[in-house]
Amino acid sequence: MDELSTAAEHDAAHAGLWPDGPPWWTSAVVYQVYPRSFADSDGDGMGDLGGITAHLDHLQHLGVDVVWLSPVYRSPQDDNGYDISDYRDIDPTFGTLADFDTLLAQVHARGMKLVMDLVVNHTSDEHPWFVESRSSTDNPKRDWYWWRPPRAGMEPGAPGAEPNNWGSAFSGPAWDLDETTGEYYLHLFSRKQPDLNWENPEVRAAVHEMMRWWLDRGVDGFRMDVINFISKDPALPDGVVPDGKVHGDGHPHFGYGPRLHEFLAEMHREVVAGRPERLLTVGEMPGATVEQARKFTDPARAEVDMVFTFEHVGLDHGASKWDVRPLRLTDLKASFGRWQAGLADVGWNSLYWNNHDQPRVVSRFGDDGEHRRDSATALATLLHLHRGTPYVYQGEELGMTNAGFTRIDQYRDIESVNYHAEALRYGWATEEEVLASLSAMSRDNARTPVQWDAGRHAGFTTGEPWIAVNPHHTEINAAAQADDPTSVLAHYRRLITLRHEEPAVALGDFTMLLPDHEQVYAFTRALAGTSLLVLVNVSGEEQAVDLPAPDAWSDAELLLGNLRSEASAADPLRPWEARVHRRTTA
């Protein structure tokens, strides 16, 4: 089949998928801001809204289209803002609603959009809804959360008396006893994050009203935290206890619950549908499969625009995230390739390496020593040339590395601190082994302050930062890279510009090449007579390129490279080299 007929079929498929044309976010790039670590404007050591506003020129210069703001709502900060006590106010740590309005106006003035983090699987235990709910068994809001008595025949607080055996994501059981009423409440995360009961229509209506309130204020969409957990099996059955573990795995009973699609469709209908502006909705969905994602993101079903899959960021896990294994490139190809193929005709992919919950990709899958700059730009090229919407996490565009912490008292993340205590309590690992796992995988690797310059505390704050600054900031920082055309920052700018200017990057068909090669990641993109060949050496050794049809690329131009400006498609790849070649047909 020739490329022109393929392009015609591709355009016809788009017309069926999006009758009004591809949405704006198909050619957009999103930038995630984790506010407490981005920039501090008042010297208290915590990032804030004023700090974000002061650095918007950096994001505009980078070229991103959307700013995704991690939670800034009022919160006791047990889980760094993902425990919300008031959905309609800003936490004083970050500023005020007036500060937020200023930030939103400045984002829009620069031609960018702002997406809020929506955390509605759970609230804080200090939210007025939960305060009422726990006050008595007959309170009108009792059924807004998951309350259950102890197991039959057992006394409240006795070992094993929890209503089921599920474990919390942050260690320990997923149930906590409330002494006032003698019943337990469900918390899939921290004990200070009780799960909302979405079976109750009053809960759903309250959430929808809150979402409309933010959209009316001017925000441009939502990133939905663990949104696939909102529908639980009402029977709350016990989960299977994995070997060597204490608690059962409840995920099969809440990860893809019986009413999930119903709840998401209702949310879209009640909140998003009918608005004149085209919003962005992305659902974080741990454990979601390609088949499920096709349903979630099918425009005809009107649920969400895209999902965050966790499949590729679990490829270096053994029995758990703390059991770190080397990444096999063929596993990454199989995962990415499956998602590219699965969402080729229905729905849409999100593309990411980093976020506030993942370690830095240059340390994780790259080489943060000798080849830090080259591996950071190679991995960026690999990701951004796929079909989907790329997400850049703060500092990723600088090639920031893992934190390098060596003591438990350096960590602030509740998941990391709890795992350290639990692993030592149950003898799962030695202190040295636990610290090695944390060094590789802790969420705090992503949460050290953004490195703006080589000065004290990396220009993040004039006070004492809430978490230690990475000592690498003296060499890895925005100021040093701002005017350097060979920097990681400059390469990210070129990648973002390419997505904006070359339709084949945004909408082209994807074909994996060399699926069994353990060092070279290669694929093509094709749209309307334009074909792109992407070649990435994911190793520190030179690699020959053995393409299935090398002559077809003999006259292709080098569109983008991270190491050189001239090369043919047949040239060997230098260590951590990435190249994008383009050919066109009349």
How many angstroms separate the CA atoms of 239 and 261, rounded? Answer: 23
Alpha helices, H only, 473-564: 478-481, 488-501, 503-507
CB of 570 closer than 8 Å to CB of 550: yes
Which residue has tokens 């060399």?
514
Burial of 14 (0-12, 13-18, 19+ CB in 10 A): middle
Torsion over CA: 373, 467, 47, 227 (sign): positive
CB of 439 closer than 8 Å to CB of 353: no
Which residue has tokens 């600088």?
398
How many angstroms separate the CA atoms of 283 and 224, rounded? Answer: 5
Is 396 tagged catalytic? no
**Catalytic-role residue among 40, 79, 284, 374:** 284
**Catalytic-role residue among 78, 125, 225, 368:** 225
Torsion over CA: 518, 359, 450, 432 (sign): negative
401, two tokens: 């590395």
CB of 538 closer than 8 Å to CB of 374: no
372, two tokens: 């830090």
CB of 112 closer than 8 Å to CB of 58: no
Is 225 tagged catalytic? yes
Using alpha carbons, select from 565, 562, 566 the residue that is nearest to residue 385.
562
How many angstroms separate the CA atoms of 203 and 71, rounded? Answer: 20
Active site residues: 225, 284
